Amino acid sequence: MEIRPTTDKDLDVFVDTLHAAFGLFPETPVEGGGLWWSALEMDRCILARTADGRPVGTAATYSFELTLPGQSLVPVAGVTAVGVLPSHRRQGVLSAMMRHQLTELRARGESLSVLLASEALIYGRFGYGPATYTAQLKAPRHKAALAAPRARGEAEVAAAGSVEVLRRAECGEILEEVYDRYRRAQPGALSRPHRWWALRAGQPPVSPAPRYVAVHRNADGVPDGYASYAVESGTLTVDETIATDDAVFTALARFVLEHDLVSKVVFKQVPSDHPLRWQFADFRAGEVSGDMDWLWVRLLDVPRALTARGWFTDGELVLDVDDPFLGEHDRYLLTVQDGKADCVPTDREPDLSLDIRDLGSIYLGGTAPSTLARAGHIRAHHPGAATLADNLFRTERSPHCLHWF
């Protein structure tokens, strides 16, 4: 088995192998990869070949920026396009590609890798843990009146701005600009490189229904949010609601909930604890479903990753971290003061013992260490250890990611 990086010349063979691995795409891919795969960075893809040169496995990484708690931004590798031909499965091809890729990412100096998992059983063994979650919120329109916000004044609500309906083709760079402002402030969000917008990749898979975009503008006419939606058989589905603050989200929600000739509104890709549920006058109007993992995180350099994010409570914690796939085992003293962390090797007795995948799950603040301790995955070495870790890892808001790659 040989694993080697690709160049632009390999695009067609890469896409052809990937399609055969998934079996879901056309047998003969469009020459040049088609719109979606043309977003691949061919110098960041790998092909696995058998000894006789037959390509049997693919994997790729995109270059993204991830927003961490505290709104710090770090470059991350977004792993994608992973596939092994059905004829060559369970022979260690993926394991070999993962080893190659993680080594390569470290050599590039990256401290974090992320992915969306097609199946939840695949990536834990390689050190990835689910770190953000997503759900859909459904409401029958006749029950979905929004209550007046009890703590906000009338003037604050009235200053919300205006909404205009545009076709995608009319949006120009509005969506890209608004998304960029949103993602910089939202822990767990990923950048969408400019060429993705140009290719219209990364946006939700498009159904055959005509798609509209409700663009929100502030009182000065500056776009500060949008909702991309389609109406089919009486259901209005919002694929993506991007808002630079909560009042903008509310204005967009109100807009779609007041749409005529619609009996049901579905907000896709929202955090399950989204405040919208609390804004319905009838608390039972909003039904949360499809709650699932979204972004999986893998730490490649524990001290660098832990010191890159923002912290909100001072304290100290000793973490004993096992990384079985890379054959590493290290103990770190994490000290947080005034929002910043220091992380150094230590011989002190540990507060927690955990697998690198569990560190990935708690890293962005979307899963409490105590939850994984209760599940029997993280070992707390004394009664207060899990609570101590909960307090330390807690973040300003739940991480969320709605970028699809």
Ligand X SMILES: CC(=O)SCCNC(=O)CCNC(=O)[C@H](O)C(C)(C)COP(=O)(O)OP(=O)(O)OC[C@H]1O[C@@H](n2cnc3c(N)ncnc32)[C@H](O)[C@@H]1OP(=O)(O)O
Q: Which residues of the chain form contacts with ligand X (CB under 6 A)?
A: 21-22, 79-84, 89-95, 115-119, 121-122, 125
Q: How far is the CB of 24 from ligand X (least distance, A)?
A: 9
CA distance linking residue 20 with residue 34, whole number of Å: 15
Cβ-contact 392, 368 below 8 angstroms: no
Token pair listed for 287? 């039904």
Q: Which is nearer to ligand X, 90 or 150 (CB)?
A: 90
Which residue, among 78, 84, 75, has the nearest Cα to 62 in the 3D structure?
78
Phi, psi of 324 (to 5 degrees): -60, -35
Q: Is 118 annotated as a binding residue?
A: yes
Cβ-contact 137, 192 below 8 angstroms: no
Q: Is 92 annotated as a binding residue?
A: yes
Cβ-contact 255, 214 below 8 angstroms: yes
Q: How far is the CB of 25 from ligand X (least distance, A)?
A: 11
Residue 126 annotated in active site: no
CA distance linking residue 380 with residue 363, whole number of Å: 17
Whole-angstrom CA distances from 29 to 40, 45, 202, 334 are 15, 18, 19, 49
Residue 62 annotated in active site: no
Q: Which is nearer to ligand X, 24 or 169 (CB)?
A: 24
From the list 64, 182, 212, 405, the catalytic residue is 405
Q: Which is nearer to ligand X, 117 or 166 (CB)?
A: 117
Q: Within 10 Å of residue 318's Cβ, how many Cβ atoms?
A: 19
Whole-angstrom CA distances from 203 to 168, 185, 251, 340 are 11, 19, 22, 34
> Tokens 């007041």 belong to which residue?
258
Q: How far is the CB of 57 from ligand X (least distance, A)?
A: 6
Q: Is 83 annotated as a binding residue?
A: yes
CA distance linking residue 61 with residue 405, whole number of Å: 10
CA distance linking residue 58 with residue 225, whole number of Å: 37
From the list 64, 123, 267, 363, the catalytic residue is 123
CA distance linking residue 339 with residue 100, whole number of Å: 35
Which residue, among 167, 178, 259, has the nearest Cα to 218 in the 3D structure?
178
Q: Is 82 annotated as a binding residue?
A: yes
Q: Is 265 annotated as a binding residue?
A: no
* Burial class (CB within 10 angstroms; exposed 0-12, middle 13-18, buried 19+) of 199: middle
End-to-end CA distance of the chain, in Å?
27
Q: How far is the CB of 156 from ligand X (least distance, A)?
A: 43
Q: Which is nearer to ligand X, 118 or 207 (CB)?
A: 118
Q: Which is nearer to ligand X, 71 or 91 (CB)?
A: 91
Q: Is 91 annotated as a binding residue?
A: yes
Q: Within 10 Å of residue 69's Cβ, how many Cβ atoms?
A: 22
Q: How far is the CB of 376 from ligand X (least distance, A)?
A: 20
CA distance linking residue 149 with residue 119, whole number of Å: 40
Q: Is 94 annotated as a binding residue?
A: yes
363 three-state secondary structure: helix
Q: How far is the CB of 192 from ligand X (least distance, A)?
A: 17
Q: How far is the CB of 22 from ligand X (least distance, A)?
A: 5
* Burial class (CB within 10 angstroms; exposed 0-12, middle 13-18, buried 19+) of 66: buried
Q: Which is nearer to ligand X, 81 or 214 (CB)?
A: 81
Q: Which is nearer to ligand X, 217 or 403 (CB)?
A: 403
Residues making up the annotated binding site for acetyl-CoA are 82-84, 90-95, 118-119
**Catalytic (active-site) positions:** 123, 405
Residues making up the annotated binding site are 82-84, 90-95, 118-119
